[in-house]
């Protein structure tokens, strides 16, 4: 009887943990999401409105928050930031909610999206997870062609429905083995984005290049493999939210310089993203 009670307590604890993580990580929207209610009159007067759109890297609750870093480093009286990052989003998903971005009529939009497209195209287990989370339908196939088509539609809607200056971030590193096929694919996706920016007169923001440059000048023994990504993501979330371990400590423990789980970033990685984006936004004050 005692063992049965213990088992029930363990099941209850596990169920509680599952729903806590699901609500905290998978079903939440970031503070400052553009569809989050009405702003007080005058809130945006004389401010440069910025929307940072993307996936969990932008959302900022599965790793260090680069949007918060930008908010903290740019004068609050001059800028208003909307965070339009949603965990586990692909270009398919961002395209479906791009009207949330358009509705703010921003001065600037930054786009940081595509890592999940690459992950889904490379890993059948990840693809299944995105489908289970209803991020993509059974008929939507993440690959290079759909990434390009979705991105062009996102840009087209932003250009035709807003007057925003658009900054397009290259795909961040996915794991720190730059010779792995996932990163070779990310190089190709980023090359497309660079060409698209040149064609559409957009600003290309070389996040990927800055991260690769950091790793080049700060070499260290490889910490983790891409094959362990799903396990690393799950363990990092549990360690951070249940035990309170910082993203930086988790990153150190797995031997990575910039990422604690191959997809999301520690303080150093997030700071690189913020440092690449900041000059693009600061131009409005010159």
The model's pLDDT over 29-58, given as tens digits with 9 standing for 90+, comes to: 998 999 755 566 567 778 899 999 999 999
pLDDT number for residue 126: 93
CB 109 within 8 A of CB 157: no
The model's pLDDT over 52-61, given as tens digits with 9 standing for 90+, comes to: 999 999 999 9
100 vs 36: CA distance, rounded Å: 10
122 vs 142: CA distance, rounded Å: 9
Q: Which two tokens stand for residue 92?
A: 């398919």
pLDDT number for residue 132: 93
Least confident of 7-16, 187-196, 230-239, 259-268: 7-16
CB 250 within 8 A of CB 223: no
Residue 165: beta bridge partners? 108
Percent of the chain with pLDDT over 70: 87
Query: Domains in the chain, ordered, with CATH?
Result: 41-217+267-285 (3.40.50.1110)
The model's pTM is 0.91
């Amino acid at each position: 009887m005692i063992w049965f009670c213990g088992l029930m307590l363990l099941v209850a604890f596990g169920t509680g943990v599952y729903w806590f993580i699901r609500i905290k990580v998978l079903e939440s929207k970031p503070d400052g999401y553009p569809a989050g209610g009405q702003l007080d009159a005058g809130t945006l007067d004389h401010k440069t409105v910025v929307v940072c759109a993307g996936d969990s890297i932008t959302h900022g609750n599965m790793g260090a928050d680069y949007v918060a870093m930008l908010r903290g480093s740019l004068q609050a009286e001059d800028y208003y930031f909307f965070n339009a990052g949603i965990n586990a989003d692909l270009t398919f998903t961002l395209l479906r909610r791009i009207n949330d971005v358009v509705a703010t009529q921003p001065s600037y939009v930054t786009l940081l999206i595509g890592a999940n497209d690459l992950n889904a195209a490379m890993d059948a287990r990840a693809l299944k997870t995105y489908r289970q989370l209803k991020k993509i339908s059974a008929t939507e196939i993440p690959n290079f062609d759909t990434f390009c088509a979705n991105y062009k539609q996102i840009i087209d809607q932003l250009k035709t429905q807003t007057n925003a200056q658009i900054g397009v971030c290259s795909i961040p590193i996915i794991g720190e083995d730059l010779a792995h096929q996932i990163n070779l694919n990310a190089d190709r996706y980023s090359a497309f984005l660079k060409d698209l920016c040149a064609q559409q007169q957009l600003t290309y923001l070389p996040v990927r290049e800055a991260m690769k440059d950091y790793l080049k000048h700060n070499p260290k023994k490889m910490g983790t493999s891409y094959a362990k990504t799903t396990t690393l993501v799950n363990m990092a979330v549990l360690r951070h939210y249940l035990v309170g371990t910082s993203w930086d400590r988790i990153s150190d423990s797995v031997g990575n310089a910039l990422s604690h789980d191959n997809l999301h970033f520690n303080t150093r990685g997030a700071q690189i993203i913020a440092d690449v984006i900041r000059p693009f936004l600061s131009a409005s004050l010159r």
